[in-house]
């Protein structure tokens, strides 16, 4: 990696999400093993773990406090947050609350039909200047032809928005599946500026099997 550049995973989850199994210690250990410099902890409708890590971790790994927020139109991620945003609000209100904190509006997996994605609402948000970053690669999209990720990249290009990439890891093995290499930054505005130079490293990596299969009962 070039001097002065960092690796950033824009989208991953801890146990605080409720559907993830990765502890904060495991995030730190796995990120170090994968040489990730910055993690955006984006738990579902929750910021407590991200805020704890940001306040208490010492060492080279940096934390951006994020939240993957379920809105009435679909999921939106806020990055560089200072407080939690309630879920099931209108999308425009969530955008306003993110920006009131000086945060970044990041649209995750906007076209993945298997999740609570924004779909057509993503186009409207971009057209109205309500989005800052579009996630153009999500490592959990089971899409061999990369149709959904490609549509996201086309959306970003159509409106001149930078693209993000995230592992969307819910388990330790998922961390490192997708990240950006980009010039280092200090704060949300510089993050957005440097995203224009970012390079994506990514692969599809499914969620780990959470529970082992039980043998069928006799008969």
Secondary structure (DSSP) of 175-189: TTSEEEEEE--SSHH
**Assessment of whether the complete model's pTM goes beyond 0.85:** yes
What is the pLDDT, as a whole number, of residue 213? 45
CA distances from 97 to 17, 131, 189 (A): 20, 13, 17
**Does residue 203 contact residue 177 with C-beta atoms inside 8 Å?**
yes
pLDDT score for 142: 84
The architecture of the domain spanning 5-202 is Alpha-Beta Barrel (3.20)
3-state secondary structure 88-151: CCCHHHHHHHHHHCCCEEEECCCCCCCCCCCCHHHHHHHHCCCCCEEEEEECCCCCCCCHHHHH
pLDDT > 70? residue 212: no
pLDDT for the residue 211: 43
- pLDDT given for residue 210 in this prediction: 56
pLDDT tier at 217 (50, 70, 90 boundaries)? very low
- CA–CA distance, 117 with 107 (Å, rounded to integer): 9
Q: What is the mean pLDDT of residues 182-204?
A: 97
Cα 218 to its chain centre, rounded Å, is 44
In tens, the pLDDT along 75-102 reads 999 999 999 999 999 999 999 999 999 9
Q: 101-155 pLDDT, tens per residue? A: 999 999 999 999 888 899 999 999 999 999 999 999 999 998 766 799 999 999 9
Confidence (pLDDT) at 29:
97
The answer for 37, left when phi > 0, alpha when psi is -120 to 50, beta otherwise, is: alpha
Is the model's pLDDT at 216 over the cut of 70? no
Tokens found for residue 151:
């549509």
Q: What angle do CA 9, 143, 151 make, to 5 degrees?
A: 75
Average pLDDT, the chain: 93
What pLDDT score does 145 carry?
60
Domain ranges in the chain?
5-202
Give which of 54, 30, 72, 71 is closest to 170, Cα–Cα: 30
In the numeric block, the tokens 């991620």 are attached to 77
pLDDT number for residue 3: 93
pLDDT higher than threshold 90 for residue 4: yes
The DSSP result for 36-94, as a single string, is --EEEE--BT--HHHHHHHHH--SS-EEEEEEEEE-SSSEEEEES-SS---SSS-HHHH
Helix 147-158 to helix 120-127 angle (10° resolution) is 20
Binned at pLDDT 50, 70 and 90, residue 214 comes out as very low
Q: Which residue has the higher pLDDT, 92 or 212?
A: 92
């Amino acid at each position: 990696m070039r001097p002065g550049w960092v690796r950033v995973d824009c989208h991953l989850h801890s146990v605080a999400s409720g559907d993830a199994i990765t502890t904060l210690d495991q995030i730190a250990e796995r990120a170090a093993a994968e040489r990730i410099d910055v993690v955006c902890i984006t738990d579902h409708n929750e910021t407590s773990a991200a805020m704890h890590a940001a306040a208490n971790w010492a060492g080279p790994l940096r934390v951006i406090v994020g939240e993957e927020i379920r809105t009435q139109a679909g999921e939106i991620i806020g990055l560089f947050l200072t407080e939690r945003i309630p879920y099931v609000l209108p999308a425009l209100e969530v955008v306003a609350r993110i920006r009131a904190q000086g945060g970044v509006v990041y649209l995750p997996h906007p076209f993945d039909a298997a999740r609570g994605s924004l779909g057509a609402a993503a186009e409207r948000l971009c057209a109205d200047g309500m989005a800052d970053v579009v996630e153009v690669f999500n490592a959990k999209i089971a899409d061999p032809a990369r149709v959904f990720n490609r549509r996201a990249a086309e959306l970003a290009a159509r409106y001149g928005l930078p693209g993000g990439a995230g592992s969307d890891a819910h388990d330790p093995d998922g961390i490192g599946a997708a990240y950006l290499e980009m010039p280092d930054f200090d704060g949300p505005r510089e993050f957005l500026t440097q995203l224009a130079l970012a390079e994506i490293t990514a692969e599809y990596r499914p969620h780990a099997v959470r529970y082992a299969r039980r043998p069928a009962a006799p008969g």
